[in-house]
Homo-oligomer: A and B are copies of this chain.
Amino acid sequence: MKVTIFPLQDFPLINPRDDIEEILITELRKINLIDDDILVIAHTIISKAENKVYNLHEVIPSSFAQQIGELQDKDPRKIEVILQESREIIRMNERVLITATKHGFICANSGVDKSNTPGDTLISLPDDPDLSARRIRKRILTELGKNVAVIISDTFGRPLRVGTVNVAIGVAGIDPVDDLRGRKDLFGYEMQSTFVARADEVAAAAGLVMGQADEGTPVIIVRGVKYNQADAYATNLNRDPQTDVFR
Contacts and interface: CB of A to CB of B under 8 A. Distances in A.
A204 B167 CA distance: 11
Contact of A208 (B117, B164, B176, B201): B201
B161 A238 contact: yes
Interface in A102-154: 106, 113-118
A6 to B, nearest CB: 4
B207 A196 contact: yes
A24 interface: no
Interface in A189-222: 189, 191-193, 195-198, 200-202, 204-205, 207-209, 212-217, 222
A91 B245 contact: yes
A107 B192 CA distance: 13
Interface in A39-98: 91, 93, 95-96, 98
Contacts of A195: 162-164
Interface residues of A, number: 74
Q: How many copies of this chain does the complex contain?
A: 2
Interface in A176-194: 176-178, 180, 183-187, 189, 191-193
Contact of A161 (B184, B200, B208): B200
Contact of A177 (B163, B191, B212, B237): B163
A163 B33 CA distance: 29
Contacts of A198: 163, 208
A165 interface: yes
Nearest to A217: B1
B114 A192 contact: yes
A196 B116 contact: no
14 contacts: A91-B245, A115-B191, A115-B192, A159-B246, A160-B238, A160-B239, A162-B239, A163-B197, A165-B201, A183-B213, A191-B212, A204-B205, A205-B208, A208-B222
